[in-house]
Amino acid sequence: MALLISVAPTGDGWAVSSDVLENDLTFERGGRAEAAARSLAGRWAEKGANAEVRIFLKDGALAGRILHPAYGRPEVLAG
C-alpha cells in the first residue's frame, strides 16, 4: 500500500496532509504545497516505500495523481 499525501485548498491557502505528518503543512500558494508534497513522496520512495500525491482543486475535485514508486524494489520497477 502506498503512502497517501494530499494537497488541498484550506482557508486562505493550501494544505499538505498525510498520516506521516504530525500536523498539516500549510502554504499560501498551491505550487509550493505541491512541491513540498512531491519532495515528501520522493523521500519515502528513496526509503523503499511507494507514495502517491493527490492534488485537489478549490472545488474539491481531484486534479491529478502523481505516483512515486519505491526505489530499489524490483517488483515495483519491473514491467
Among left, alpha and beta (phi > 0; psi -120 to 50; other), residue 34 is alpha
Please say whether the beta carbons of 28 and 13 come within 8 A: yes
3-state secondary structure of 20: coil
More confident residue, 78 or 22: 22
CB atoms within 10 A of CB 62: 11
pLDDT tens figures, 4-27 = 999 999 988 999 999 999 999 999
Is the pLDDT score of 60 beyond 80? yes
Q: What is the pLDDT of residue 79?
A: 37
pTM of the model: 0.85
**Pairing of β 13-18 and β 3-10:** antiparallel
Q: What is the pLDDT of residue 77?
A: 40
**Which H or E run includes 21?**
none
Sorting pLDDT into bands at 50, 70 and 90, what band is 2?
Answer: confident
What is the residue extent of each domain of the chain? 1-15+38-59
Sorting pLDDT into bands at 50, 70 and 90, what band is 72?
Answer: low
